[in-house]
Amino acid sequence: MPLISSSAYAPPWFLHNAHVQSIAPILIRRVAGINYQRTRIETPDGDFLDLDYSCVGARRVGIVSHGLEGDSSRPYVLGMVRALNRRGWDAVAWNFRGCSGEPNRLLRSYHSGDTQDLHTVISSVLALGHYTQLALIGFSLGGNIALKYLGERGSDVASQIIAAATFSVPCDLTSASHAMSRPSNAIYMTRFLTMLHRKIRWKMELFPGAIDDRGYRKIHTFKDFDNRYTAPLNGFQDAEDYWQKASSKPVLADITVPSLLVSAADDPFLAPACYPLDAALENPNLFLEVPPHGGHVGFVTLSQDGTYWSEQRATDFLEACANSG
């Protein structure tokens, strides 16, 4: 019964507000000391992915997946990469299609359930022949992809994959998308739609006539955006079909490696269905932790070395899994 009933996370007194927790790290956090080495790999469908390596000469590696419209340079990714390096892990922060600073080659881009791209990344990293242990770390959308990948693979997961640690995961995309349409989340929704609009304009330049942004100002929710763009460009019938098929929640029961899922109870991006209590109670490999506070990809702590609680929690969990074998 790996439902972690009590979480050790306690926010600083001035960061109990969920929105402050979610926004402050974006605005004020700076993570120094990471010097990436970029590698570009080809995908089976003729596109590319950019992988950023931060290596300390280890035989174990953590693959970090960012969130919606993020990239390998986001503070939460850099913080996790630094924490992995400090604990003796190499780290690979991969950029989803179109998120590494230039457009991807195809009309389609990434989406919340794109586990094939994660498989391509894992295969590329393991093909190096350096690593005997591999862990998956994911934030928000990237956490959904990591858990969905493990659930889909089940017992066929590569033997080197020993654990996963995920944070602020919208594992039920339907309810999370509805939660994001609340008036209290308007600031986040506007930001995401603005960033996604830039990607649409990239595509318009690359594929004239195949995609357009006429009437984009009428798009106010993920349902609007996913109905118009995400679903048709990725082979789904509509937004609801995409959300159902891209969610990790239906396959959490099939995960066979120890996997930590941490989502704060006050996460403004999530709805009750995103806290998979039943799956955690039934699957001995799924560890669900729900701190009362933390916001969305927040979990701020004021440590001398700049480490956030989520980074300490993830590396402690991965270390325990790595040493248990």
Q: What share of the chain is helix, strand, coil (3-state, %, to 5)?
A: 45, 15, 40
Query: 43: which 2 tokens?
Result: 């995908």
Measured torsion, CA atoms of residues 310, 318, 77, 275, in degrees rounded to the nearest 10: -50
Question: Cβ contacts of residue 165 below 8 Å, gap of 6+?
Answer: 135, 136, 137, 138, 259, 260, 262, 313, 314, 317, 318
Category of 297 on φ-ψ map: left (φ > 0), alpha (ψ -120 to 50) or beta: left
Please check whether residue 22 is in contact with residue 179, taking contact to mean a CB–CB distance below 8 angstroms. no
The Cα–Cα gap between 131 and 161 comes to 10
The Cα–Cα gap between 130 and 52 comes to 16
Residue with tokens 């794109």, as numbered in its chain: 114
Residues designated as active site: 140, 267, 296
Please check whether residue 97 is in contact with residue 117, taking contact to mean a CB–CB distance below 8 angstroms. yes
Q: In this structure, which amino acid lies at residue 196?
A: L
The Cα–Cα gap between 304 and 269 comes to 29
Residue with tokens 């006050």, as numbered in its chain: 266
C-alpha closest to that of 140 among 318, 264, 285: 264
Q: Max CA-CA distance within the chain?
A: 55
